[in-house]
Amino acid sequence: MKTGSLRFANIHLQEGPIGLLTSSLRKGRLSQTYIFAGARSVGKTRLAKTFAALLQCLEPVTGPDGSAEDAPSWRPRPTSDVVSVGSAEDAPSWRPRPTSDVVSVGSPDACGKCLSCRRVMAGSHPDVTFLRPQGAEIRVAQVRQMQELALLHPYLGKWRIFIIDPADRLNESSANSLLKILEEAPEKVVFILVAEQVERVLPTIRSRAETVLFQNPSHHAAREAIARVTGRPADEVARVYSLTEGAFGAALNLAAQDLPVTGLLPLREAQVRFLEDLERFSGQVQERVNEAPSLEAALAVVEDPDLLLFPPLLASRKSLVRGLLLAESLPAAFPVLFSRVFLDVLDKARKGLDKVLETVIARQKSAYAAEILKEMDRQFGMAVQNLFQAQVVGLLECLRHWNEDLFHFSHTADETWLLNLDRKDDIMALSLVRGLGFAESGIQLLSRSLELLSRNVQPVLLLEHVLSSIGGRTP
Ligand SMILES: [Zn+2]
Protein backbone atom coordinates (compact mmCIF):
# COMPACT_ATOMS: atom_id res chain seq x y z
CA MET A 1 0.00 0.00 0.00
CA LYS A 2 1.34 3.38 -0.96
CA THR A 3 -0.87 5.65 1.08
CA GLY A 4 0.99 7.73 3.62
CA SER A 5 4.56 7.74 4.80
CA LEU A 6 6.34 4.84 6.45
CA ARG A 7 4.84 5.00 9.89
CA PHE A 8 3.06 2.44 12.03
CA ALA A 9 0.17 4.87 12.07
CA ASN A 10 -0.28 4.17 8.34
CA ILE A 11 -0.47 0.40 8.73
CA HIS A 12 -3.89 -1.03 9.27
CA LEU A 13 -5.32 -4.18 10.84
CA GLN A 14 -1.93 -5.35 12.13
CA GLU A 15 -2.04 -4.24 15.75
CA GLY A 16 -0.54 -7.54 16.93
CA PRO A 17 2.71 -7.38 14.92
CA ILE A 18 3.09 -3.64 15.54
CA GLY A 19 2.54 -4.16 19.27
CA LEU A 20 5.15 -6.90 19.34
CA LEU A 21 7.77 -4.81 17.55
CA THR A 22 7.15 -1.63 19.51
CA SER A 23 7.22 -3.45 22.84
CA SER A 24 10.53 -5.11 21.95
CA LEU A 25 11.89 -1.66 21.09
CA ARG A 26 10.65 -0.11 24.29
CA LYS A 27 12.20 -2.89 26.32
CA GLY A 28 15.44 -2.59 24.38
CA ARG A 29 15.13 -6.21 23.28
CA LEU A 30 15.52 -6.28 19.58
CA SER A 31 15.90 -9.62 17.81
CA GLN A 32 18.55 -9.89 15.20
CA THR A 33 16.36 -11.91 12.86
CA TYR A 34 12.63 -11.56 12.33
CA ILE A 35 10.33 -13.56 10.13
CA PHE A 36 7.26 -11.59 9.08
CA ALA A 37 4.82 -14.35 8.24
CA GLY A 38 1.35 -13.97 6.82
CA ALA A 39 -0.97 -13.99 3.81
CA ARG A 40 -0.46 -11.94 0.67
CA SER A 41 -1.09 -8.20 0.70
CA VAL A 42 -1.69 -7.87 4.44
CA GLY A 43 1.20 -5.42 4.88
CA LYS A 44 4.27 -7.56 5.62
CA THR A 45 6.63 -5.75 3.26
CA ARG A 46 5.18 -2.42 4.24
CA LEU A 47 5.70 -3.15 7.92
CA ALA A 48 9.25 -4.39 7.24
CA LYS A 49 10.05 -1.08 5.55
CA THR A 50 8.34 0.87 8.29
CA PHE A 51 10.23 -0.96 11.00
CA ALA A 52 13.47 -0.32 9.11
CA ALA A 53 12.51 3.35 8.84
CA LEU A 54 11.90 3.54 12.58
CA LEU A 55 15.21 1.87 13.40
CA GLN A 56 17.03 4.35 11.18
CA CYS A 57 14.88 7.40 11.90
CA LEU A 58 16.81 10.49 12.95
CA GLU A 59 13.92 11.91 14.96
CA PRO A 60 11.64 9.11 16.06
CA VAL A 61 8.46 10.12 17.78
CA THR A 62 6.51 8.55 20.60
CA GLY A 63 3.12 8.87 22.26
CA PRO A 64 2.27 11.67 24.72
CA ASP A 65 3.40 9.68 27.76
CA GLY A 66 6.87 9.12 26.35
CA SER A 67 9.71 11.47 27.09
CA ALA A 68 13.39 11.82 26.38
CA GLU A 69 14.17 10.29 29.81
CA ASP A 70 12.63 6.96 29.02
CA ALA A 71 13.85 6.98 25.46
CA PRO A 72 14.47 3.40 24.49
CA SER A 73 17.92 2.29 23.57
CA TRP A 74 18.45 -1.14 22.21
CA ARG A 75 20.84 -3.59 20.80
CA PRO A 76 19.86 -6.60 18.77
CA ARG A 77 20.06 -9.93 20.48
CA PRO A 78 22.14 -12.30 18.42
CA THR A 79 20.09 -15.43 18.87
CA SER A 80 17.20 -16.36 21.05
CA ASP A 81 18.65 -15.08 24.29
CA VAL A 82 18.08 -11.53 25.31
CA VAL A 83 20.90 -9.03 25.64
CA SER A 84 20.33 -6.37 28.22
CA VAL A 85 20.23 -2.74 27.26
CA GLY A 86 23.69 -1.38 26.55
CA SER A 87 25.52 1.23 28.56
CA ALA A 88 25.13 4.94 27.90
CA GLU A 89 28.22 4.95 25.69
CA ASP A 90 27.10 2.40 23.20
CA ALA A 91 23.39 3.09 23.35
CA PRO A 92 22.08 4.37 20.05
CA SER A 93 21.02 7.96 20.17
CA TRP A 94 17.40 7.22 19.77
CA ARG A 95 15.49 10.10 21.24
CA PRO A 96 11.78 10.03 20.71
CA ARG A 97 9.94 13.27 21.03
CA PRO A 98 6.31 13.44 22.10
CA THR A 99 3.60 13.89 19.54
CA SER A 100 -0.12 13.36 19.56
CA ASP A 101 -0.26 11.84 16.09
CA VAL A 102 0.74 8.22 16.72
CA VAL A 103 -0.88 4.81 16.83
CA SER A 104 -1.17 4.47 20.55
CA VAL A 105 0.02 6.26 23.62
CA GLY A 106 3.68 5.74 24.29
CA SER A 107 4.51 3.65 21.23
CA PRO A 108 7.52 4.66 19.16
CA ASP A 109 7.06 5.53 15.50
CA ALA A 110 9.20 6.85 12.67
CA CYS A 111 8.84 10.57 11.98
CA GLY A 112 8.24 9.95 8.28
CA LYS A 113 9.92 13.24 7.41
CA CYS A 114 13.64 13.13 8.16
CA LEU A 115 16.26 12.41 5.51
CA SER A 116 16.59 8.85 6.69
CA CYS A 117 12.85 8.15 6.60
CA ARG A 118 12.60 9.67 3.15
CA ARG A 119 15.45 7.58 1.87
CA VAL A 120 13.97 4.37 3.23
CA MET A 121 10.69 5.30 1.60
CA ALA A 122 12.39 6.01 -1.72
CA GLY A 123 14.30 2.74 -1.48
CA SER A 124 17.63 4.56 -1.50
CA HIS A 125 18.83 4.23 2.09
CA PRO A 126 22.35 2.78 1.90
CA ASP A 127 21.84 0.71 5.06
CA VAL A 128 18.47 -0.78 4.17
CA THR A 129 18.92 -3.46 1.55
CA PHE A 130 16.25 -5.52 -0.13
CA LEU A 131 17.01 -9.02 -1.27
CA ARG A 132 14.48 -10.02 -3.90
CA PRO A 133 14.29 -13.05 -6.18
CA GLN A 134 16.09 -12.83 -9.47
CA GLY A 135 13.56 -14.69 -11.52
CA ALA A 136 12.14 -17.59 -9.56
CA GLU A 137 14.57 -17.69 -6.65
CA ILE A 138 16.89 -15.75 -4.40
CA ARG A 139 20.24 -17.11 -5.46
CA VAL A 140 23.31 -17.93 -3.49
CA ALA A 141 25.36 -15.23 -5.26
CA GLN A 142 22.92 -12.60 -3.97
CA VAL A 143 23.20 -13.92 -0.43
CA ARG A 144 26.99 -13.83 -0.64
CA GLN A 145 26.86 -10.23 -1.77
CA MET A 146 24.66 -9.50 1.21
CA GLN A 147 27.20 -11.18 3.49
CA GLU A 148 29.90 -8.76 2.37
CA LEU A 149 27.62 -5.83 3.10
CA ALA A 150 26.62 -7.22 6.48
CA LEU A 151 30.22 -7.09 7.63
CA LEU A 152 30.52 -3.37 6.93
CA HIS A 153 29.61 -0.72 9.44
CA PRO A 154 26.36 1.10 8.79
CA TYR A 155 27.10 3.89 6.38
CA LEU A 156 24.47 6.44 7.27
CA GLY A 157 22.16 4.91 9.85
CA LYS A 158 22.51 3.06 13.11
CA TRP A 159 21.86 -0.37 11.68
CA ARG A 160 22.41 -2.45 8.63
CA ILE A 161 19.04 -3.86 7.78
CA PHE A 162 18.36 -6.58 5.24
CA ILE A 163 14.83 -7.30 4.10
CA ILE A 164 14.62 -10.68 2.38
CA ASP A 165 11.40 -10.67 0.47
CA PRO A 166 10.04 -13.22 -0.05
CA ALA A 167 12.19 -15.53 2.02
CA ASP A 168 10.17 -18.54 0.90
CA ARG A 169 11.94 -18.13 -2.43
CA LEU A 170 15.40 -18.86 -1.05
CA ASN A 171 16.65 -22.06 -2.63
CA GLU A 172 18.50 -24.72 -0.70
CA SER A 173 21.99 -23.32 -1.16
CA SER A 174 21.01 -19.68 -0.67
CA ALA A 175 19.12 -20.62 2.50
CA ASN A 176 22.15 -22.47 3.86
CA SER A 177 24.37 -19.57 3.01
CA LEU A 178 21.96 -17.21 4.80
CA LEU A 179 22.00 -19.44 7.85
CA LYS A 180 25.77 -19.06 8.09
CA ILE A 181 25.43 -15.28 7.92
CA LEU A 182 22.81 -15.30 10.66
CA GLU A 183 25.16 -17.32 12.82
CA GLU A 184 28.04 -14.90 12.42
CA ALA A 185 26.35 -11.56 11.88
CA PRO A 186 27.78 -8.53 13.66
CA GLU A 187 25.72 -6.82 16.30
CA LYS A 188 24.39 -3.86 14.34
CA VAL A 189 22.70 -5.98 11.70
CA VAL A 190 19.00 -6.80 11.58
CA PHE A 191 17.45 -9.28 9.16
CA ILE A 192 13.78 -9.26 8.29
CA LEU A 193 12.56 -12.28 6.35
CA VAL A 194 9.17 -11.80 4.74
CA ALA A 195 7.29 -15.01 4.00
CA GLU A 196 3.86 -16.10 2.90
CA GLN A 197 4.64 -19.76 3.40
CA VAL A 198 6.77 -19.81 6.49
CA GLU A 199 7.06 -23.60 6.38
CA ARG A 200 9.21 -23.17 3.27
CA VAL A 201 11.83 -21.31 5.28
CA LEU A 202 14.57 -23.63 6.53
CA PRO A 203 13.72 -24.85 10.08
CA THR A 204 17.24 -23.98 11.25
CA ILE A 205 16.64 -20.40 10.11
CA ARG A 206 13.21 -20.33 11.73
CA SER A 207 14.63 -21.50 15.04
CA ARG A 208 17.08 -18.59 15.07
CA ALA A 209 14.44 -16.01 14.28
CA GLU A 210 11.56 -14.36 16.04
CA THR A 211 8.43 -15.05 14.03
CA VAL A 212 5.95 -12.21 13.81
CA LEU A 213 2.58 -13.61 12.72
CA PHE A 214 0.44 -11.24 10.70
CA GLN A 215 -3.29 -11.13 11.09
CA ASN A 216 -5.39 -12.19 8.12
CA PRO A 217 -8.35 -9.83 8.34
CA SER A 218 -11.79 -11.00 7.30
CA HIS A 219 -13.22 -9.47 4.12
CA HIS A 220 -15.60 -7.54 6.30
CA ALA A 221 -12.88 -6.09 8.54
CA ALA A 222 -10.74 -5.25 5.51
CA ARG A 223 -13.58 -3.38 3.81
CA GLU A 224 -14.37 -1.48 6.98
CA ALA A 225 -10.75 -0.42 7.32
CA ILE A 226 -10.57 0.69 3.66
CA ALA A 227 -13.72 2.76 4.11
CA ARG A 228 -12.33 4.29 7.29
CA VAL A 229 -8.95 5.13 5.78
CA THR A 230 -10.12 6.39 2.39
CA GLY A 231 -13.52 7.81 3.31
CA ARG A 232 -15.09 6.17 0.27
CA PRO A 233 -18.69 4.92 0.46
CA ALA A 234 -19.33 1.25 1.20
CA ASP A 235 -20.45 0.29 -2.31
CA GLU A 236 -17.29 1.71 -3.89
CA VAL A 237 -15.13 0.01 -1.30
CA ALA A 238 -16.88 -3.29 -1.98
CA ARG A 239 -16.17 -2.87 -5.69
CA VAL A 240 -12.50 -1.98 -5.25
CA TYR A 241 -12.01 -4.84 -2.82
CA SER A 242 -13.55 -7.33 -5.19
CA LEU A 243 -11.54 -5.97 -8.17
CA THR A 244 -8.30 -6.64 -6.33
CA GLU A 245 -9.49 -10.13 -5.34
CA GLY A 246 -9.38 -9.23 -1.67
CA ALA A 247 -5.78 -8.04 -1.58
CA PHE A 248 -6.00 -5.50 1.23
CA GLY A 249 -2.98 -3.37 0.40
CA ALA A 250 -3.78 -3.34 -3.30
CA ALA A 251 -7.40 -2.41 -2.58
CA LEU A 252 -6.27 0.45 -0.37
CA ASN A 253 -4.08 1.65 -3.23
CA LEU A 254 -6.83 1.43 -5.80
CA ALA A 255 -9.39 3.04 -3.52
CA ALA A 256 -7.28 6.19 -3.63
CA GLN A 257 -7.72 6.37 -7.42
CA ASP A 258 -10.65 7.10 -9.69
CA LEU A 259 -11.98 3.88 -11.10
CA PRO A 260 -13.62 3.40 -14.46
CA VAL A 261 -17.27 2.51 -14.27
CA THR A 262 -17.86 -0.63 -16.26
CA GLY A 263 -21.23 -2.13 -16.85
CA LEU A 264 -21.96 -5.81 -16.65
CA LEU A 265 -21.50 -7.54 -19.95
CA PRO A 266 -22.84 -10.79 -21.31
CA LEU A 267 -20.21 -13.48 -21.75
CA ARG A 268 -19.46 -12.91 -25.41
CA GLU A 269 -18.82 -9.18 -24.97
CA ALA A 270 -17.04 -9.68 -21.67
CA GLN A 271 -14.66 -12.02 -23.40
CA VAL A 272 -13.91 -9.55 -26.19
CA ARG A 273 -13.46 -6.70 -23.72
CA PHE A 274 -11.13 -8.77 -21.56
CA LEU A 275 -8.86 -9.57 -24.49
CA GLU A 276 -8.86 -5.94 -25.61
CA ASP A 277 -7.96 -4.77 -22.12
CA LEU A 278 -5.20 -7.30 -22.00
CA GLU A 279 -3.75 -5.72 -25.15
CA ARG A 280 -4.12 -2.25 -23.64
CA PHE A 281 -2.39 -3.44 -20.51
CA SER A 282 0.46 -4.81 -22.55
CA GLY A 283 0.71 -1.55 -24.52
CA GLN A 284 0.91 0.39 -21.27
CA VAL A 285 3.67 -1.82 -19.92
CA GLN A 286 5.63 -1.39 -23.15
CA GLU A 287 5.28 2.37 -22.93
CA ARG A 288 6.51 2.49 -19.35
CA VAL A 289 9.46 0.24 -20.10
CA ASN A 290 10.35 2.34 -23.10
CA GLU A 291 10.40 5.48 -20.96
CA ALA A 292 12.59 3.97 -18.23
CA PRO A 293 15.81 5.98 -17.82
CA SER A 294 17.99 2.95 -17.09
CA LEU A 295 17.90 -0.81 -17.41
CA GLU A 296 17.45 -1.11 -13.66
CA ALA A 297 14.43 1.18 -13.87
CA ALA A 298 13.04 -0.85 -16.78
CA LEU A 299 13.43 -4.03 -14.76
CA ALA A 300 11.75 -2.39 -11.78
CA VAL A 301 8.77 -1.55 -14.01
CA VAL A 302 8.36 -5.14 -15.15
CA GLU A 303 8.85 -6.54 -11.64
CA ASP A 304 6.53 -4.07 -9.89
CA PRO A 305 3.63 -6.08 -8.46
CA ASP A 306 1.43 -2.98 -8.67
CA LEU A 307 1.75 -3.15 -12.44
CA LEU A 308 -0.94 -5.80 -12.35
CA LEU A 309 -3.39 -3.34 -10.82
CA PHE A 310 -4.67 -2.10 -14.16
CA PRO A 311 -8.28 -1.30 -13.28
CA PRO A 312 -9.91 -1.78 -16.70
CA LEU A 313 -8.39 -5.23 -16.99
CA LEU A 314 -9.38 -6.17 -13.44
CA ALA A 315 -12.93 -5.03 -14.20
CA SER A 316 -13.23 -6.91 -17.47
CA ARG A 317 -11.75 -10.03 -15.92
CA LYS A 318 -14.41 -9.88 -13.24
CA SER A 319 -17.05 -9.43 -15.91
CA LEU A 320 -15.71 -12.40 -17.86
CA VAL A 321 -15.70 -14.72 -14.84
CA ARG A 322 -19.18 -13.62 -13.90
CA GLY A 323 -20.33 -14.30 -17.45
CA LEU A 324 -18.73 -17.73 -17.39
CA LEU A 325 -20.40 -18.78 -14.18
CA LEU A 326 -23.81 -17.29 -14.94
CA ALA A 327 -24.07 -18.50 -18.52
CA GLU A 328 -26.90 -20.96 -19.03
CA SER A 329 -24.44 -23.13 -20.87
CA LEU A 330 -21.22 -22.59 -22.77
CA PRO A 331 -20.81 -23.36 -26.45
CA ALA A 332 -19.01 -26.70 -26.70
CA ALA A 333 -16.02 -25.14 -28.40
CA PHE A 334 -15.68 -22.29 -25.93
CA PRO A 335 -13.09 -23.75 -23.52
CA VAL A 336 -10.69 -24.71 -26.29
CA LEU A 337 -11.17 -21.56 -28.35
CA PHE A 338 -11.00 -19.12 -25.50
CA SER A 339 -7.92 -20.76 -23.97
CA ARG A 340 -6.10 -20.64 -27.29
CA VAL A 341 -7.01 -17.03 -28.03
CA PHE A 342 -6.20 -15.90 -24.49
CA LEU A 343 -2.78 -17.50 -24.56
CA ASP A 344 -2.13 -16.20 -28.08
CA VAL A 345 -2.81 -12.67 -26.87
CA LEU A 346 -0.48 -13.24 -23.94
CA ASP A 347 2.17 -14.63 -26.24
CA LYS A 348 1.90 -11.65 -28.55
CA ALA A 349 2.12 -9.30 -25.57
CA ARG A 350 5.23 -11.09 -24.36
CA LYS A 351 6.91 -10.86 -27.76
CA GLY A 352 5.98 -7.19 -28.02
CA LEU A 353 7.53 -6.46 -24.65
CA ASP A 354 10.63 -8.47 -25.55
CA LYS A 355 11.06 -6.30 -28.61
CA VAL A 356 10.76 -3.08 -26.63
CA LEU A 357 13.27 -4.43 -24.13
CA GLU A 358 15.69 -5.21 -26.94
CA THR A 359 15.60 -1.61 -28.13
CA VAL A 360 15.93 -0.30 -24.58
CA ILE A 361 18.95 -2.53 -24.03
CA ALA A 362 20.47 -1.55 -27.36
CA ARG A 363 20.05 2.11 -26.43
CA GLN A 364 21.72 1.76 -23.03
CA LYS A 365 24.18 -0.93 -23.87
CA SER A 366 27.26 1.26 -23.70
CA ALA A 367 26.64 2.08 -20.03
CA TYR A 368 26.93 -1.54 -18.88
CA ALA A 369 29.56 -4.23 -18.82
CA ALA A 370 28.84 -7.24 -21.02
CA GLU A 371 28.53 -9.51 -18.01
CA ILE A 372 25.93 -7.29 -16.36
CA LEU A 373 24.02 -6.98 -19.61
CA LYS A 374 23.83 -10.73 -19.87
CA GLU A 375 22.54 -11.01 -16.33
CA MET A 376 19.99 -8.22 -16.88
CA ASP A 377 18.80 -9.95 -20.00
CA ARG A 378 18.21 -13.12 -18.03
CA GLN A 379 16.32 -11.23 -15.36
CA PHE A 380 14.15 -9.46 -17.92
CA GLY A 381 13.30 -12.82 -19.46
CA MET A 382 12.07 -14.17 -16.13
CA ALA A 383 10.25 -11.01 -15.13
CA VAL A 384 8.38 -10.91 -18.45
CA GLN A 385 7.50 -14.57 -18.11
CA ASN A 386 6.14 -13.96 -14.59
CA LEU A 387 4.22 -10.89 -15.68
CA PHE A 388 2.16 -12.76 -18.24
CA GLN A 389 1.88 -15.93 -16.20
CA ALA A 390 0.28 -13.69 -13.57
CA GLN A 391 -2.62 -13.07 -15.98
CA VAL A 392 -3.44 -16.76 -16.13
CA VAL A 393 -3.06 -17.01 -12.36
CA GLY A 394 -5.28 -13.95 -11.91
CA LEU A 395 -8.07 -15.46 -14.00
CA LEU A 396 -7.96 -18.76 -12.10
CA GLU A 397 -7.86 -16.99 -8.73
CA CYS A 398 -10.82 -14.86 -9.69
CA LEU A 399 -12.75 -18.02 -10.59
CA ARG A 400 -11.73 -19.63 -7.33
CA HIS A 401 -12.93 -16.65 -5.32
CA TRP A 402 -16.35 -16.79 -6.93
CA ASN A 403 -16.56 -20.45 -6.03
CA GLU A 404 -15.46 -19.71 -2.48
CA ASP A 405 -18.13 -17.05 -2.21
CA LEU A 406 -20.68 -19.48 -3.56
CA PHE A 407 -19.56 -22.03 -1.01
CA HIS A 408 -19.75 -19.63 1.94
CA PHE A 409 -23.04 -18.19 0.85
CA SER A 410 -24.65 -21.59 0.29
CA HIS A 411 -23.37 -22.55 3.69
CA THR A 412 -24.18 -19.54 5.84
CA ALA A 413 -26.21 -17.08 3.71
CA ASP A 414 -24.12 -14.39 5.41
CA GLU A 415 -23.10 -11.75 2.89
CA THR A 416 -20.34 -10.24 5.04
CA TRP A 417 -18.31 -13.36 4.20
CA LEU A 418 -18.32 -12.55 0.50
CA LEU A 419 -15.21 -11.33 -1.23
CA ASN A 420 -17.36 -10.26 -4.19
CA LEU A 421 -19.84 -8.39 -2.02
CA ASP A 422 -20.57 -6.05 -4.93
CA ARG A 423 -21.84 -9.09 -6.83
CA LYS A 424 -23.93 -10.60 -4.07
CA ASP A 425 -27.06 -10.73 -6.27
CA ASP A 426 -25.18 -12.88 -8.77
CA ILE A 427 -23.89 -15.13 -6.05
CA MET A 428 -27.34 -15.48 -4.57
CA ALA A 429 -28.71 -16.39 -8.00
CA LEU A 430 -25.92 -18.88 -8.52
CA SER A 431 -26.44 -20.49 -5.15
CA LEU A 432 -30.00 -21.31 -6.20
CA VAL A 433 -28.89 -23.29 -9.22
CA ARG A 434 -25.55 -24.61 -8.04
CA GLY A 435 -25.05 -25.94 -4.60
CA LEU A 436 -22.30 -26.59 -2.12
CA GLY A 437 -21.01 -29.64 -3.99
CA PHE A 438 -20.37 -27.66 -7.15
CA ALA A 439 -18.59 -24.89 -5.27
CA GLU A 440 -16.49 -27.36 -3.35
CA SER A 441 -15.32 -29.29 -6.39
CA GLY A 442 -14.68 -25.99 -8.18
CA ILE A 443 -12.46 -24.78 -5.35
CA GLN A 444 -10.53 -28.04 -5.38
CA LEU A 445 -10.07 -28.00 -9.13
CA LEU A 446 -8.89 -24.39 -9.14
CA SER A 447 -6.53 -24.83 -6.23
CA ARG A 448 -5.01 -27.85 -7.93
CA SER A 449 -4.73 -26.00 -11.24
CA LEU A 450 -2.99 -23.06 -9.58
CA GLU A 451 -0.56 -25.42 -7.94
CA LEU A 452 0.17 -27.13 -11.27
CA LEU A 453 0.62 -23.78 -12.95
CA SER A 454 3.23 -22.80 -10.37
CA ARG A 455 5.07 -25.95 -11.41
CA ASN A 456 5.07 -24.86 -15.05
CA VAL A 457 2.41 -27.21 -16.38
CA GLN A 458 1.19 -26.08 -19.83
CA PRO A 459 -1.42 -23.39 -19.09
CA VAL A 460 -3.44 -24.09 -22.23
CA LEU A 461 -4.39 -27.58 -21.09
CA LEU A 462 -5.18 -26.40 -17.57
CA LEU A 463 -7.39 -23.60 -18.79
CA GLU A 464 -9.30 -25.83 -21.19
CA HIS A 465 -9.93 -28.31 -18.44
CA VAL A 466 -11.02 -25.68 -15.91
CA LEU A 467 -13.32 -23.91 -18.34
CA SER A 468 -15.01 -27.09 -19.50
CA SER A 469 -15.49 -28.23 -15.91
CA ILE A 470 -16.96 -25.13 -14.37
CA GLY A 471 -18.35 -22.84 -17.05
CA GLY A 472 -22.08 -22.64 -17.71
CA ARG A 473 -24.92 -23.46 -15.38
CA THR A 474 -26.19 -26.63 -16.99
CA PRO A 475 -24.09 -29.50 -18.27
ZN1 LIG B 1 12.48 9.95 10.53
pTM of the model: 0.83
Q: How close is the Cα of 155 to the center of ligand 1, in Å? A: 16
Q: How close is the Cα of 110 to the center of ligand 1, in Å? A: 5
Q: How close is the Cα of 475 to the center of ligand 1, in Å? A: 61
Q: How close is the Cα of 42 to the center of ligand 1, in Å? A: 24
Q: How close is the Cα of 349 to the center of ligand 1, in Å? A: 42
Q: How close is the Cα of 46 to the center of ligand 1, in Å? A: 16
Q: How close is the Cα of 323 to the center of ligand 1, in Å? A: 49
Q: How close is the Cα of 364 to the center of ligand 1, in Å? A: 36
Q: How close is the Cα of 129 to the center of ligand 1, in Å? A: 17
Q: How close is the Cα of 69 to the center of ligand 1, in Å? A: 19
Q: How close is the Cα of 53 to the center of ligand 1, in Å? A: 7
pLDDT truncated to tens, each residue of the chain (475 aa)? 444 688 998 899 999 999 999 988 888 889 999 999 999 889 999 999 999 999 999 999 985 443 333 444 454 544 443 333 333 333 333 433 333 333 444 688 999 999 999 999 998 999 999 999 877 789 999 999 999 999 999 998 899 999 999 999 999 999 999 999 999 888 899 999 999 989 989 999 999 999 999 999 999 999 999 999 999 999 999 999 999 999 998 999 898 887 766 677 888 899 999 999 999 999 999 999 999 999 989 998 998 888 999 999 999 999 999 999 998 888 889 999 999 999 999 999 999 999 999 999 999 889 899 888 888 888 899 899 989 999 999 999 999 999 999 999 998 889 999 999 999 999 999 998 888 888 999 999 999 999 999 888 889 999 999 999 887 655 4
Q: How close is the Cα of 185 to the center of ligand 1, in Å? A: 26
Q: How close is the Cα of 79 to the center of ligand 1, in Å? A: 28
Q: How close is the Cα of 92 to the center of ligand 1, in Å? A: 15
Q: How close is the Cα of 22 to the center of ligand 1, in Å? A: 16
Q: State the SS3 of the chain.
A: CCCCCCCHHHCCCCHHHHHHHHHHHHCCEEECEEEEECCCCCCHHHHHHHHHHHHHCCCCEECCCCCCCCCCCCEEECCCCCCCCCCCCCCCCCCCEECCCCCCCCCCECCCCCHHHHHHHHCCCCCEEEECCECCEECHHHHHHHHHHHHCCCCCCCCEEEEECCHHHECHHHHHHHHHHHHHCCCCEEEEEEECCHHHCCHHHHCCCEEEECCCCCHHHHHHHHHHHHCCCHHHHHHHHHHCCCCHHHHHHHHCCCCCCCCCCCHHHHHHHHHHHHHHHHHHHHHHHHHCCCHHHHHHHHHCHHHHCCHHHHHHHHHHHHHHHHCCCCCCCHHHHHHHHHHHHHHHHHHHHHHHHHHHHHHHHHHCCHHHHHHHHHHHHHHHHHHHHHHHHHHHHHHHHHHHHHHHHHHHCCHHHCCCHHHHHHHHHHHHHCCHHHHHHHHHHHHHHHHHHHCCCCHHHHHHHHHHHHCCCCC
Q: How close is the Cα of 119 to the center of ligand 1, in Å? A: 9
